[in-house]
């Protein structure tokens, strides 16, 4: 006798009927025609598709601009923080932000991510911050994006 048969013998008769009914319901549902998840006749459907396509098109990258932006970021940080030992943690945080959760070369990050890095650098320069302030700005952005745990989570 199999284990399932032995286990079924110990079930309360009401429980057997209940399980049998659930199985029948599951089988009926499986044979029922599938209901569509959305209606293509809904006017908002076409608008949402148009919005999605526009969003995807906006993400198409210009490789030359992307490369120029990456090296501009590098040159700004190297130029403003000449000490390699102090600069290294800042570059590490910047690279985490650009790479995100992807395991790719930082230079392959999206242009929008590089533009955000430039915004952070611009804010830092405009407030006359020191290297530690730039490190913290990138670190806080990494926490906000979920790339690093916050202090409360550690």
Tokens, residue 145: 């994006």
Does residue 152 belong to any structural domain of this protein? no
Say how far apart CA 90 and CA 70 lie, in whole Å.
15
- The predicted model scores a pTM of 0.60
pLDDT for 37: 47
Does residue 57 belong to any structural domain of this protein? no
Say how far apart CA 114 and CA 70 lie, in whole Å.
7
Measured N-to-C along each axis, helices 63-80 and 84-99 cross at an angle, to the nearest 10 degrees, of 150
Low-confidence ranges of the chain (pLDDT < 70): 1-11, 27-50, 52-61, 152-154
Say how far apart CA 62 and CA 67 lie, in whole Å.
9
Does residue 45 belong to any structural domain of this protein? no
Does residue 132 belong to any structural domain of this protein? yes
pLDDT for 47: 66
pLDDT for 18: 78
Does residue 9 belong to any structural domain of this protein? no
Q: How many structural domains does the chain have? A: 1
Say how far apart CA 62 and CA 65 lie, in whole Å.
5
- What is the residue range of 141's domain? 63-145
pLDDT for 16: 72
pLDDT for 1: 46
């Amino acid at each position: 006798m199999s284990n399932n048969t032995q286990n079924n013998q110990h079930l309360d008769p009401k429980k057997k009927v209940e399980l049998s009914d659930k199985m029948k319901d599951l089988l009926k549902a499986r044979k029922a025609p599938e209901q569509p998840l959305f209606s293509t006749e809904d006017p908002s459907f076409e608008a949402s598709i148009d919005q999605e396509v526009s969003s995807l098109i906006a993400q198409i990258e210009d490789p030359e601009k992307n490369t120029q932006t990456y090296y501009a970021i590098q040159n700004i940080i190297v130029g403003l923080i000449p000490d390699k030992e102090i600069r290294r943690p800042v570059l590490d945080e910047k690279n985490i932000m650009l790479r995100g959760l992807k395991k790719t070369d930082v230079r392959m990050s999206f242009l929008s991510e590089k533009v955000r890095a430039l915004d952070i650098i611009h804010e830092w320069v405009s407030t006359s911050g020191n290297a530690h302030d730039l490190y913290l700005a990138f670190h806080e952005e990494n926490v906000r994006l979920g790339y690093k745990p916050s202090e409360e989570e550690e």
